[in-house]
Amino acid sequence: MDEKKYDSAKEIKASCFFPLDSTTFHFSLTSKFEIPKSTYDDNEPILAVSDIESGYKTFRDFLIQNKVINKNLDWTFGKGHLVLVGDFVDRGYSTTHVLWFIYKLEQEAKKHGGHVHFILGNHELYNMQGKYNSASHKYYGVASILGKQHHNLYDQQSFIGRWMASKNTLERINGNLFAHGGIHPDIADYDITIDQVNQINRANYYNSYFPKPEESIEQLIISNKKGICWYRGYFKDDLSQEEVEKGIRKFNAKSIIVGHTIQWMPKTYFEGKVIAIDVKHPKDYNKNWPSKSSEGLYIKNDKYYRAQADGALKEL
């Protein structure tokens, strides 16, 4: 292994090689991490995708076909919003490729007035908290080559770890909420803002969740059953329309877009108030059965479309 030291206050040129098709992408590192805003209102188009699960090639090609980037991986989405709704790590062999690619896209989007929203899911939290049951064994080897333990790859001393720790778990973009899991109806009973939800989650990214005897809004937000990154109640619980809408209205939104709970295709629930976009994306190094293509969600002028792997749009 070659090793070099750099001044962390300066911009550092870096690259990432993808062995499957012998391609490389380039980017610059800067150690200044800014906490993103929690709300955006600009009427620009939105492309959302979730649960890529370490599939770099799938992710890259989906963005090319949907005109977010070109074949040279340059940003072409203007002032649009690319929303990544959690679980971009684990279950594959291209985890760090995906994370560096998101970092590159984020830097590229800023230059054009666009936005990349990396909203963390439960599997990002797993890695930050040292839980690797779903991680490829490849990364134990990677850590060993670096003279590290697996948890050091995403800890508070690592570049990627510190970058991820700046991210949000809940955002409202042009009136739509985005969260990996969802909003438990009980959250609406507390006096809390989207910013405060994100502050509570960020303060606990490196803490494993263990419930305490007393109930609190903090426990509800970070819970691995009812929390923002974990909740599956839209699909598993017997909720009424009013209970679902109560959580959405709490944050002055018209709908919520979630990942986490797998669907055959992007689908609406509860009279369009919940839009589920977690699909089974193809893997980089092995084939899925049954065979399935990537899909995401495209939003423009208050219309919602299934964004397909070939760039086609089908209205929901």
The pLDDT value given to residue 9: 87
The pLDDT value given to residue 169: 98
Low-confidence residues of the chain: pLDDT under 50: none
Helix, strand, or coil here: 42? coil
Q: Confirm if 47 and 81 have CB atoms less than 8 A apart.
A: yes
Which residue, among 233, 231, 255, has the nearest Cα to 46 in the 3D structure? 255
Q: Is residue 262 part of a domain?
A: yes
Euclidean distance between CA atoms 290 and 287, whole angstroms: 9
CATH at residue 101: 3.60.21.10
Q: Is residue 142 part of a domain?
A: yes
Tokens standing for 171? 């955002």
Structure letter (DSSP) for residue 2: -
Q: Look up the pTM and report it.
A: 0.97
Q: Is residue 271 part of a domain?
A: yes
Helix, strand, or coil here: 224? coil
Residues near 268 by beta carbon (within 8 Å), at least 6 away in sequence? 274, 275, 276, 304, 316
Q: Confirm if 99 and 88 have CB atoms less than 8 A apart.
A: yes
Which residue, among 143, 49, 55, has the nearest Cα to 91 in the 3D structure? 55
Segments forming the whole domain that contains residue 104: 38-315
Q: Is residue 15 part of a domain?
A: no
Number of C-beta neighbours around residue 26 at 10 A: 10
Q: Confirm if 235 and 278 have CB atoms less than 8 A apart.
A: no
Strands 255-258 and 274-276: parallel
Q: Is residue 286 part of a domain?
A: yes
The pLDDT value given to residue 8: 84
Q: Is residue 28 part of a domain?
A: no
Tokens standing for 152? 């050091």
Euclidean distance between CA atoms 12 and 21, whole angstroms: 25
How many domains does the chain contain in total? Answer: 1
Q: Is residue 21 part of a domain?
A: no
Q: Is residue 192 part of a domain?
A: yes
Euclidean distance between CA atoms 111 and 106, whole angstroms: 9
